[in-house]
Amino acid sequence: MKHFAYLLPVCCLLFAACRKDSPATEIIPAPRSVKAGQGTFDLGGGIRIAPADPLLRPAADYLAQLLREENVAAAQDAGNANLSLELDPRLPQQGYTLKITPARIELRGGSCEGVVSAAASLRQLLWAGKGSLPALEIDDAPRFAWRGFMLDVARHFFTKEEVMSLTDRLACYKFNRLHLHLTDDQGWRIEIKRYPLLTRRGAWRTANKHDSLCLRRAADERDPKFLLPEKNIRREQGGIRYGGYYTQDDIREIVAYAAQRGIEVIPEIDLPGHSLAAIGCYPQLACDGRGGWGKHFSTPLCIGRDSTIAFCKNVLTELFDLFPSQYVHIGGDEVERTPWETCPDCQRRIRAEKLEGAGELQAWFTRETEQFLAAHGKTLLGWDEITEDGLTPQSAVMWWRSWMPSTLTAALQNGHRVIESPSEFLYLNGELDRNTLGKVYGWEPLPESLRAWEEGLLGIQANMWTEDVPTADAAGERLFPRLLAVAETAWSAPEKRDFTDFRRRLPLHLHQLERAGWNYRLDDVEGICDDNVFIGAATVRLLPPESAELYYTLDGTVPDTASQRYTAPFSITDSCTLTLRCYNRRGVAAEIRRASFRPTRYAEPSADAGNLQNGLLVRWYDYDGDNCADIDEAPLQANFITDSVVIPDGVTGNIGLICDGYIDIPADGIYSFYTYSDDGSTLAIDGRTVVDNDGLHSRTERSGQAALRRGVHSFSLRYFDTNGGVLEAGIIDSEGRRIPFSSRMLKH
């Protein structure tokens, strides 16, 4: 990232001008076109709604509810309306216009979904307004038809009310698909009347490894959002069981609630793998009559038996009456096929269908399921493993394996409609840091390499897997505000996306999340590195988020609200571990951050540097290990000279880099450094490790300090990569800005 301080005043003036000319600049996702009008619409007299088409009455009811939630009197009144809802066939199907004048408000959509999207924009204007709405006209349409979110309710269960509350948040940001992951090894969450044991037994479990992980974290971090909710616990004579499920009436209620908000609910029944919850209820579904765990994944259904195929079809048939959605997701991922290799029934099926082994047996099952769904007017959707199953182009593929881009292009080349859901960017259950929001926002679903298949790209979807997410507060911290970034990527044209402006718009939306009872991730506390040094004493000046209270300890213990509250800078004179934690206005704890402090002396500059040139000497090794220390034990591939810390052009495959040289320090001082990498990186100055970002991991930033005298100091950065390909390093200035190393600073 380049930093141009002299542009800051100009940018501020430009933003001020945009705000003046475009009163809807707080809206997320950013609209296609906003034109300011003259005057305002006064809300004090109430809103009288008139839907021009009977199809829009549910949307009118929904809009009236939204208005009342904002303390605006609202009712349907065709005879004296000042707000109209209309279908306009001239608009894109999911597009809309919203026109506000001092006299009336008009919402038009190319479909009912388009009108609901107009209502979402109106709702956000109500958040920003104070008794009136600015006159304006918005003309808007989505970039992608599928704007989805998946919630895993199998690993940890979320109640009907929690799902509906989340659905309401999705509607605010123009998502139009809610994918429910209803079954997995850890639980079966939907009532199937033909197989009552699936919920009577399969929806409940004794504590498993995921539960233990959450409970241990709740205890270690003194954080109740990782406790298993009491409402999901059933006490029986044999002990405590965790779980829950949706009755069919619950499902109908969720589906209707979502439909009124323009959202289609997509069910997922994971087949033929991830099925231990079903096997535990009906053991005859497994090849060995027991089920269990194989080398990599759980043992699958025995799809060599006709009775198992009948079970699958019977379950899917009950879904058809509950979910009007076009798509039914069948999973199809991570199947342990080894039991089929020795199962007589599966081997009999392989011979009868003239298949070439267990891999083709799964492909046969997927094709059978595709035909069954098609016969009932439904379309098969599955994770990208199904790309290899010889399906017709009518089926859709959800690409998730970001380390296997070949499966994405293969699905598009085969004519499938594809939803992009790459784990690297859109799996929102991962741990968070200061860079994850920008990482999600910066992802581009349609790079130049995919433009030829643009018509096959149906849209994008974010996913929340819940192995270590047992509560709504834990989910909210992972989801928000990153889910808003996904919304803007899914809806807004590339030229309308700007991360700086997105950050500017966020505070209004974070306040509304708080108001709705949803947790969100607080910004990082600024002012420190992960590893800090001082000479004599350190004055610690912390910058906590505005909406939080910050507590800390100096002895390594976990802080809570009984610990020291940060109110002013303080001094540190001895080695210690500073542990920080913020609490939001609802008293919900944020993640814990730890920073080390230690006294040091100034490091003297190198005396034998000699004549130096700009840039670094870089050695590339064919390294496939898991730590930076062993890179130079691998075969050397090539040498380079680079202007800065970068992965040189042409470096691919197994990557181990050692970047050696000197850094030119302009004045005595304590300097802060960082590396941001996927996978590991380390930075040493004068032979001492300053930044330790080692090990296998996704994109992660670590930072550290060194006390350096003016002059040149020896510099060595090591980096290895398995499939991430991300490396950045530089200095952190006094304002907390990350400034990548330049060629003028680095010498060799």
**pLDDT tens by residue, 472-523:** 999 999 999 999 999 999 999 999 999 999 999 999 999 999 999 999 999 9
Last residue of a domain, one of 140, 165, 185: 140
Single pTM value for the model? 0.93
Number of Cβ atoms within 10 Å of the Cβ of 326: 12
Confidence (pLDDT) at 21: 43
Q: How confident is the model at residue 24 (pLDDT cuts 50, 70, 90)?
A: low
Q: How far apart are CA 76 and CA 266, in angstroms?
A: 31
| Same domain as 694, residue 655 | yes
Q: How confident is the model at residue 17 (pLDDT cuts 50, 70, 90)?
A: very low
Q: Is 525 inside any structural domain? A: no
**How do strand 564-565 and strand 593-599 relate by DSSP bridges?**
unpaired
Task: For residue 609, name the pLDDT band (cuts at 50, 70, 90).
Answer: low
Sequence-distant (6+) residues with CB within 8 A of 546 are none
The torsion angle over the Cα atoms of residues 211, 212, 217 and 220, rounded to 10 degrees, is 150
In this structure, is residue 523 part of a structural domain? Answer: no
For position 2, what pLDDT does the model report? 33
Nearest to 715 by CA among 735, 729, 732, 700: 729
Q: Using one digit for the tens of pLDDT, what is the confidence trace for 674-733?
A: 999 999 999 999 999 999 999 999 999 999 999 999 999 999 999 999 887 899 999 999
Contacts of 662 (CB under 8 A, 6+ apart): 606, 609, 612, 712, 713, 714, 715, 746, 747, 748
Angle between helix 8-21 and 499-515 (nearest 10): 60
Q: Tell whether 609 is covered by a domain.
A: no
Closest to 156 measured CA to CA, from 569, 572, 464: 464
Same domain (yes/no): 222, 95: no
d(CA 585, CA 518): 11
Same domain, 343 and 427: yes
Residue 20 has pLDDT above 80, yes or no: no
Say whether both 364 and 429 belong to one domain. Answer: yes
pLDDT number for residue 9: 38
Q: Which pLDDT score, from 0 to 100, does residue 238 have?
A: 76
264 flagged as catalytic:
no
Q: What letter does residue 519 receive in the DSSP assignment?
A: -
Helices (H) and strands (E) in the chain, counts: 18, 38
What is the per-residue pLDDT for 6? 32
Residue 608 lies in a domain: no
Mean pLDDT of the chain: 94
Length of the chain: 748
Residue that the structure tokens 């599928």 belong to: 146
More confident residue, 691 or 296: 691
Report the pLDDT value the prediction gives residue 322, as an integer from 0 to 100.
98
By DSSP bridging, strand 264-271 and strand 177-181 are: parallel
Confidence of residue 14 (pLDDT cuts 50, 70, 90): very low
Residue 4's pLDDT band, with cuts at 50, 70 and 90, is very low
C-beta neighbour count of 586 within 10 angstroms? 10
Same domain, 88 and 179: no
* Cβ neighbours for 485, distance < 8 A, ≥ 6 positions apart: 437, 440, 441, 502
127/161 same-domain check:
no
624 and 719, same domain (yes or no): yes
Residue 33 lies in a domain: yes
For residue 376, which phi and psi values (nearest 5 degrees)?
Answer: -105, 20
| Overall average pLDDT of the 357-378 stretch | 96
Q: How many domains does the chain have?
A: 4
Q: Which two tokens stand for residue 314?
A: 């019977």
What pLDDT shows up at residue 16?
Answer: 40
> Domain end: 83, 113, 140, which one?
140
User: Do 702 and 580 belong together in one domain?
Assistant: no
Residues 403 and 266 both lie in one domain: yes
Q: What type of residue is 42?
A: D
pLDDT in tens, 383-427: 999 998 899 999 999 999 999 999 999 999 999 999 999 999 999
CA atoms within 13 A on the CB side of 566: 28
CATH of the domain at 257: 3.20.20.80
Query: Looking at this protein, which amino acid is placed at residue 217?
Result: R
Is 359 part of any domain?
A: yes
Q: How would you class 7 by CB atoms within 10 Å of its CB: exposed for 0-12, middle for 13-18, buried for 19 or more?
A: exposed
Determine the Cα–Cα distance for residues 158 and 162; give it in Å rounded to an integer: 6
Q: Which of 137, 334, 360, 368 is catalytic?
A: 334
What is the number of other CB atoms lying within 10 angstroms of the CB of residue 262? 25
CATH number at residue 42: 3.30.379.10
What's the whole-number mean pLDDT along residues 95-103? 97
What CATH code is carried by the domain that includes residue 736? Answer: 2.60.120.1560
**Angle at which helices 472-479 and 160-172 cross, to 10°:** 20
Count CA atoms closer than 13 A to 738's CA, side-chain side.
16
How far apart are the C-alpha atoms of 576 and 572, rounded to whole Å?
A: 8
Q: Do 171 and 131 fall within a single domain? A: no
Query: CA 294 to CA 43: how far, in whole Å?
Result: 63
Work out the end-to-end distance of the chain between its first and last CA atoms, rounded to an integer number of angstroms: 23
Residue 520 in any domain: the answer is no
How many Å apart are CA 156 and CA 166, to the nearest integer?
Answer: 15
Per-residue confidence (pLDDT) for residue 600, from 0 to 100:
97
55/87 same-domain check? yes
Confidence (pLDDT) at 205: 97
- AA letter at 32: R
Q: What is the number of alpha carbons within 13 Å of residue 556 lying toward its C-beta?
A: 4
Query: Is 544 found in the same domain as 402?
Result: no
Given 515, 548, 564, the domain boundary residue is: 515
Domain containing residue 576: CATH number: 2.60.40
Interval 232-270: pLDDT, tens: 999 988 789 999 999 999 999 999 999 999 999 999 999
Let me know if residue 643 belongs to a domain: yes
Collapse the DSSP code of 542 into the 3-class scheme (helix H, G, I; strand E, B; otherwise coil) and give the result. coil
**How high is the pLDDT of residue 568?**
97
Q: pLDDT for 441-465, tens place per residue?
A: 999 999 999 999 999 999 999 999 9
Structural domain for 671, as ranges: 616-747
